[in-house]
Structure 1
Amino acid sequence: MTEQNLDDIDFLSEDDDGIVEGSREENRKFEHYRFVADKGQTMLRIDKFLSVRIEGISRNRIQQAADADCILVNGQPVKSSYKVKPLDVISIVMDRPRRELEIIPEDIPLDIVYEDDVLMVINKPAGMVVHPGHGNYTGTLVNAVAYHLNRDDIRDMDDPRLGLVHRIDKDTSGLLLVAKTPEAKTNLCGQFFRKETKRMYAALVWGNPAGDHGTIEGNIGRDPNDRMRMRVFPDGDHGKPAVTHYSVLERFGYVTFVQCRLETGRTHQIRVHMKQIGHPLFNDERYGGNEILRGTRFAKYKQFVFNCFALCPRQCLHAQTLGFVHPNTGEELYFESDIPEDMQSVIDKWRAYGSVAR
């Protein structure tokens, strides 16, 4: 069986925006892995059993696979607590055929904010998928980085030579950090893990938050009713702890321009947390922000909002600042990215609308 990191499989992906919706054959499953337990196999939890047989996979990832009914024993879905028995046939299945991921270098322009021998800071445009995955095997930021670094021998999207230190969603714009050596990747990932980096996002949200500052806490995990969405769970129930701090920058009546600082880096964290407190991101289709959630019933107002949606046909979210310590020199580096034109044009329209309304 060909080796493949289980992190590459879509239901375990850190960034689901690369999945093509509506392209899968309903109820059909395809086997990606198969293991047969030995005759002398002692009873062992299946997450432990698989974690030592699949390279580069964590038990948490395996547990997510089990929650998605993608781990079968003798043809039946099992939970991660299932105890493997002698001669059990264990399969990991997906709703798409297996395909090997190969990083193909592509001559795609990159907005490189900073680069030296060990790292790069890239300003990613909205609409660009960060890494290859189902439905997006080419045209991604990783393909562009492979070309920029003149590497045509990369087979693993998490190869240290293409070290994505963190990721942002397809339709989120802004700053991304890429490590160019294994040592730099280890150091920078450690800074993210220890919450030592400085990251600030700019967002336009529906509604008028009560206070000028706030903190949102709540475990974030995949929605069991919709695998394309994340949701907030009660503490200790499901998901991983997540903390978002927000500050109001400007109020426009029916929408508000805010700044969000992340303590953690969960999938869709700002999008999910802002929805949880009743302020979804403006034009965030996945979390309901692409509907008119505040305002009047007048046709003129509705047309105004639809015009704003057309100007910025994505969630209004931008990774604006990024700060970290250089892994070699120890120097504190800080970068800032201007709000992109599509999002700025919507902010300007709301600012003008708010001044007229007052």
Structure 2
Amino acid sequence: MEEWIIKAGEAGRRLDIFFMERKGWNRSFFMKALRTKKIKVNGKKEEPSYRLQEGDLLRSFVLEEKKPALPVDILYEDENIIAVNKPQGLLSLDVTGRTKDTLLDRVNALLKTRGEPPAFPVHRIDFNTGGILLLAKNEAARNVLDRMIRERKIEKSYLCVVEGAMPGKKGRLEGQLFKDARKNRVYVLDHPVKGSKTAVTEYEVKAFRQGLSLVECRLLTGRTHQIRCQMAHAGHPLLGDDKYGSKEWNRGKRERRQLLCSYKTTFAFGKEAGILSYLSGKTIRLSHVSFVEKYFKGTVI
């Protein structure tokens, strides 16, 4: 049996989300545990949507099988955070319970072998995008990272390969993005409409070879598919991106996933980050990006 007493900072969180994040369970596993009365709140069963209150006593009577830890590429780790390199074709996390293997699952399996509690996700990266993913190792660090991300004090830079030559060495893409949730597609608009959000991306061309540009993008806003749809709207779709680019062109290049990677993260905060202020000014970056080597060998990133 395991038990937890809910602290003030955890109050208000849904019961299902608490267990999925704390234990690394998917939703179907949690629902089975709840249905078989192996999860108790103050000695009784509650609904998945129950909002935790300070002082609540949670008990789990679930016996879990030990699973071998799959490899995780750790870029940085301390007592508060862990930064890992997410491969393309792997989900960051999955709250639906449909996927048995996500990066969060792998990280938490590794932490479990060390006898450490599960990590908390603070953001995600698209399935077909690779690169740096941050996770918090405790609730206090999670709260700080959530706040720093909202205040845009964690800077994320991406590398991508796009069709054609970008206009100028440096530039800025700005527009209104509207997401069609049914189609899971984002549209760039010239004027605001109901439901649209402003998106701003700064870019710098790092190299140009054989009709392709290697571009570094810095997000000033964090919108769904921001780089992919803005680059396509500007006439320079990402190589490998069938949703916003040309499937025929991508197949000609034998690329089936967008060449986009979150390769650099900088902690642009100071003392306002509290327990994480020691990270002020620190940059975590990838030393190697496979598509850079493939199309722009010798280019320093």
Would you say same fold, with TM above 0.5? yes
For structure 1, the 5+ residue unaligned runs are 9-52, 57-101, 152-159, 293-304, 352-358
Residue in structure 2 matching 1:107, options 57, 69, 74 = 69
Q: Residue 344 of structure 1 aligns with which residue?
A: 293
Q: Distance in 2 between matches of 1:268 and 1:55?
A: 32
Give, as a single letter, the amino acid of the residue that structure 2 aligns with 1:110: V
Residue in structure 1 matching 2:282, options 306, 319, 333 = 333
Q: Distance in 2 between matches of 1:230 and 1:210?
A: 23
Determine whether 1:227 maps to 2:183. yes
1:306 CA displacement: 4.6
Q: Residue 308 of structure 1 aligns with which residue?
A: 253
Q: Distance in 2 between matches of 1:181 and 1:135?
A: 23
1:193 CA displacement: 1.0
For structure 2, the 5+ residue unaligned runs are 1-13, 21-48, 53-63, 270-274
1:243 CA displacement: 1.0
Q: Residue 261 of structure 2 aligns with which residue?
A: 318
Give, as a single letter, the amino acid of the residue that structure 2 aligns with 1:327: L
Listed as ranges, the matches of 1:168-179 within 5 Å are: 168-179=125-136
Q: Identity of paired residues, percent?
A: 30
What SS does the corresponding residue of 2:253 show, helix, strand or coil? Answer: helix
What SS does the corresponding residue of 1:271 show, helix, strand or coil? Answer: helix
1:197 CA displacement: 1.5
1:329 CA displacement: 2.7
Q: Paired residues, what number?
A: 237
Q: Residue 238 of structure 1 aligns with which residue?
A: 195
Residue in structure 1 matching 2:217, options 253, 256, 260 = 260
Give, as a single letter, the amino acid of the residue that structure 1 aligns with 2:149: F
1:346 CA displacement: 3.3
Give, as a single letter, the amino acid of the residue that structure 1 aligns with 2:253: C
1:236 CA displacement: 4.3
2:207·2:296 contact (CA, 8 Å) conserved in 1? no
What SS does the corresponding residue of 1:199 show, helix, strand or coil? Answer: strand
Q: Residue 67 of structure 1 aligns with which residue?
A: none
TM-score norm. by structure 1 comes to 0.58
Distance verdict in 2 for CA 1:223–1:202, change over 3 Å: same
- Aligned-residue CA RMSD in angstroms? 3.3
Q: Distance in 1 between matches of 2:156 and 2:85?
A: 14
1:206·1:289 contact (CA, 8 Å) conserved in 2? no
What SS does the corresponding residue of 1:132 show, helix, strand or coil? Answer: coil
Distance verdict in 2 for CA 1:330–1:133, change over 3 Å: closer
Give, as a single letter, the amino acid of the residue that structure 1 aligns with 2:195: H
Determine whether 1:162 maps to 2:119. yes
Q: Distance in 2 between matches of 1:136 and 1:232?
A: 31
Determine whether 1:150 maps to 2:144. no
Distance verdict in 2 for CA 1:185–1:3, change over 3 Å: closer
Give, as a single letter, the amino acid of the residue that structure 2 aligns with 1:341: S
